[in-house]
Amino acid sequence: MSELPQENLKTHVSIKGEEKKDLTWEERIPLRKDYAERFNLSEEEAEALDYYLFYLGLDVNDLVGKKVLDVGSGHGNFKKALQKIVEIKDGEFVNFDVNIFAAELGETEQELDVSGAAETLPFKDESFDFVLANFSVPVMQFTGQELELIPKTLREMVRVVRGGGVIKIFPVGGEISTGSISYDNAYSQLLSIVMTELKKISLEKLLAEIKITKFSKEEGLYEVALQITKK
């Protein structure tokens, strides 16, 4: 994984890397069907469970009894799935997002616990054991050309996670092929933007470990997930 930027972070924080083969749509269909049948999940809940477990490397049992923040939770389908699989007490799992769906769907359908902006999280320092971001930040900020918000969001996620707690983010860039050369070239720089800010945060001795997971696709393409453990 030498091609992935690490920005000389090893002097300040432990860096680990691994590579996994991404799943194709054909491989995901039976997996999601199994989730739906075993846990009585809707199609949307099974899809969310698939993405969160696979790309964020989660084990649902690790979340039991923990305080979890889902940044960019959307319709809240991962929380809905989780509640059908393990016991989640009130207040333990917080769905957080910008309330962008309210006008079309109604806030109850979006099922937010707290609404707001990821770059100004409305929570006290060290409030959560896990902070999750799946197909939300920073990639949505990148897509919206709000690059200045990415460093602020990373710092907020580090601020609200407890010592020993974990931040899991997917995706944070990679090499993709969408048909837009300009977008694909810019997307390949996203990880560098994220790692540059993490280097600055590591100088403040706030981080214990960063794990970079490369999900390899066909034709040399890949996307990257990050796991950040706070000291």
- Decide if pLDDT at 2 tops 50: no
Burial of 24 by CB count in 10 Å (0-12 exposed, 13-18 middle, 19+ buried)? exposed
Question: Predicted confidence band at 104 (pLDDT cuts at 50, 70, 90)?
Answer: low
- Decide if pLDDT at 197 tops 50: yes
Average pLDDT of the segment spanning 158-182: 95
- Decide if pLDDT at 117 tops 80: yes
- Decide if pLDDT at 157 tops 60: yes
73-87 tens-digit pLDDT: 999 999 999 999 999
Q: Which of 124, 131, 145 is nearest to 96 (CA)?
A: 131
CATH class in words for 9-230: alpha beta
- Cα angle vertex 138, ends 134, 139, to 5°? 75
Average pLDDT of the segment spanning 190-196: 93
pLDDT score recorded for residue 204 = 92
pLDDT score recorded for residue 124 = 98
- Decide if pLDDT at 9 tops 50: yes
24-36 tens-digit pLDDT: 999 999 999 999 9
Q: Cα(168)–Cα(157) distance, rounded to whole angstroms?
A: 10
Q: Which of 16, 143, 21 is nearest to 72 (CA)?
A: 143
Question: Predicted confidence band at 12 (pLDDT cuts at 50, 70, 90)?
Answer: confident
Average pLDDT of the segment spanning 94-100: 87
Q: Which of 200, 225, 199 is nearest to 211 (CA)?
A: 225
- Decide if pLDDT at 6 tops 80: no
User: Average pLDDT of the chain?
Assistant: 91
**Residue that has been written with the tokens 């194709």 in this structure:** 24
42-83 tens-digit pLDDT: 999 999 999 999 999 999 999 999 999 999 999 999 999 999
pLDDT score recorded for residue 125 = 98
Q: Cα(68)–Cα(152) distance, rounded to whole angstroms?
A: 20
> In 3-state terms, what secondary structure has residue 213?
strand
Q: In the chain, where are the structural domains located?
A: 9-230
